[in-house]
């Protein structure tokens, strides 16, 4: 049904495709319109993501009654995001970005509603299932960044990613700082306070999905793929790629994936346990929201500058900058006073910034290397690994802190991030 709709909507024939190829102005208009729609959806998506991240661990701690499993919520919704990333990637490859992204956000909204219901009924099983489904919103929030790159050339890709990401900032920063208000609202309607932010998450994710479903037409991925197909046919390009080019592409895909996977692992592990660590040292829920708000703001707000730097001074340079920034964050969090808000805000902001550098540079490396014919599917597969690394980070973070300390966790994460440096050196070895 969707295939027929897309075929009818876009009428992928040589004359239609040629109208975009022969008119850069028309293609540029579609590119700008696509970015605008993605920006609007990401504002809502950011609120949905941040609200759940802020209190997920605290809700689990409250319902499960122990600290050692407080990494489970992050693990579950990142594990759920792994399955969703694969699903959204495959759906986008077959039907276009509109169908894939809208489905992912709507599923995330349903998961958030389930979390609220689990808190209301005190059902642990429903909580665990709902967090898994809620992860679809997390995956879609990340996958949306690819929609901005579909119609961008090689010198615009990082900036296109940054446009999609920076628009998440408004919702992402507002979400944690609405924790108190949403908690009060939840209590007023007979729902536990910690479930309040998930009411916001449900509304935000559903709105993000509807924006994409209604407004993302024509679909940027279908347009880009059609143009690539026509250009390849008209150029009489051989079906088999040059073996050296294929080798470079595989190396680029691996390098891009490695950057995103490692930065996601380190960031998620430290972020997951920070609210618990703060709770143990007498910080209020409002202070937790403030620290996480700065962290998520740093994850997305610098994106425009980061995108410019990635396009200007290089993908590898910014990937290495990511590793160094994460190291500084880990050392600062480990050595700073536990009761210092200034230290916690700075460390978590640097953690978000290091993740930002890694995600944008890694995404650009991946888009450069993946051919249009398999790009969405490859992107979805890589985001599965990114999500799984986050799930692993969430699980291990609770175990490490329970068995050792928060300082050990942050130091290990910071040192681990330095693996990106030899990966970047290897990716350029024998490259011509």
Closest-CA residue to 383 (of 101, 23, 150):
101
Average pLDDT score over residue span 160-179:
75
Lowest mean pLDDT across 28-37, 155-164, 337-346: 155-164
Lowest mean pLDDT across 72-76, 213-217, 235-239, 428-432: 235-239
- Using an 8 Å Cβ cutoff, are 311 and 158 in contact? yes
pLDDT for 234 equals: 62
Residue predicted with more confidence, 190 or 270: 270
207-264 pLDDT per residue, tens: 999 999 999 988 889 888 888 777 666 655 454 445 555 555 888 899 999 999 999 9
Token output for 2: 């969707």
- Using an 8 Å Cβ cutoff, are 195 and 120 in contact? yes
274-293 pLDDT per residue, tens: 888 888 877 777 888 888 88
pLDDT for 189 equals: 86
The pLDDT of residue 136 is above 50: yes
pLDDT for 12 equals: 44
d(CA 298, CA 120): 33
CATH superfamily of 2-231+241-427: MFS general substrate transporter like domains (1.20.1250.20)
pLDDT for 338 equals: 79
Banded pLDDT at 182 (limits 50, 70, 90): confident
The structure's pTM equals 0.76
Residue predicted with more confidence, 248 or 340: 340
């Amino acid at each position: 049904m969707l295939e027929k709709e897309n075929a009818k909507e876009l009428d992928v024939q040589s004359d239609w495709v040629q109208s975009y190829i022969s008119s850069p102005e028309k293609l540029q208009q579609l590119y700008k319109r696509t970015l605008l729609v993605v920006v609007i959806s990401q504002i809502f998506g950011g609120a949905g993501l941040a609200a759940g991240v802020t209190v997920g661990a605290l809700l689990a701690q409250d319902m499960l009654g122990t600290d050692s499993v407080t990494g489970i919520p992050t693990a579950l919704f990142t594990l759920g995001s792994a399955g969703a990333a694969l699903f959204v990637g495959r759906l986008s490859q077959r039907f276009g970005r509109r169908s894939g992204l809208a489905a992912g956000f709507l599923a995330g909204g349903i998961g958030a509603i389930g979390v609220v219901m689990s808190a209301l009924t005190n059902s642990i099983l429903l909580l665990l299932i709902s967090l898994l489904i809620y992860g679809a919103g997390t995956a879609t929030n990340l996958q949306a960044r690819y929609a901005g790159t579909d119609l961008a050339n090689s010198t615009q890709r990082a900036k296109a990613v940054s446009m999609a990401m920076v628009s998440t900032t408004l919702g992402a920063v507002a979400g944690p700082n609405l924790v108190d208000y949403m908690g009060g609202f939840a209590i007023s309607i007979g729902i536990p306070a910690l479930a309040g932010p998930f009411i916001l998450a449900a509304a935000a994710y559903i709105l993000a999905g509807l924006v994409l479903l209604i407004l993302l037409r024509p679909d940027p991925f279908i347009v880009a793929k059609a143009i690539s197909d026509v250009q390849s046919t008209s150029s009489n390009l051989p079906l088999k790629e040059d073996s050296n080019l294929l080798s470079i592409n595989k190396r680029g895909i691996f390098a891009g994936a490695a950057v995103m996977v490692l930065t996601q692992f380190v960031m998620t592990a430290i972020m997951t346990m920070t609210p618990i660590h703060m709770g143990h040292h007498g910080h209020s829920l409002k202070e937790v929201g403030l620290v996480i708000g700065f962290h998520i703001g740093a994850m997305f707000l610098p994106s425009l500058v980061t995108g410019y730097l990635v396009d200007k001074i290089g993908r590898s340079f910014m990937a290495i900058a990511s590793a160094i920034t994460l190291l500084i964050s880990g050392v600062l969090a480990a050595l700073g006073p536990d009761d210092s808000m200034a230290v916690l805000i700075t460390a978590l902001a640097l953690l978000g910034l290091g993740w930002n550098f890694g995600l944008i540079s890694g995404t650009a490396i991946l888009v450069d290397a993946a051919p249009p014919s398999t790009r969405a599917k490859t992107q979805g597969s890589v985001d599965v690994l990114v999500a799984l690394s986050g799930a692993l980070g969430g699980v291990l973070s609770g175990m490490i802190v329970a068995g050792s300390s928060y300082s050990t966790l942050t130091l290990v994460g910071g040192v681990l991030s330095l693996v990106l440096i030899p990966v970047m050196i290897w990716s350029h070895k024998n490259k011509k």
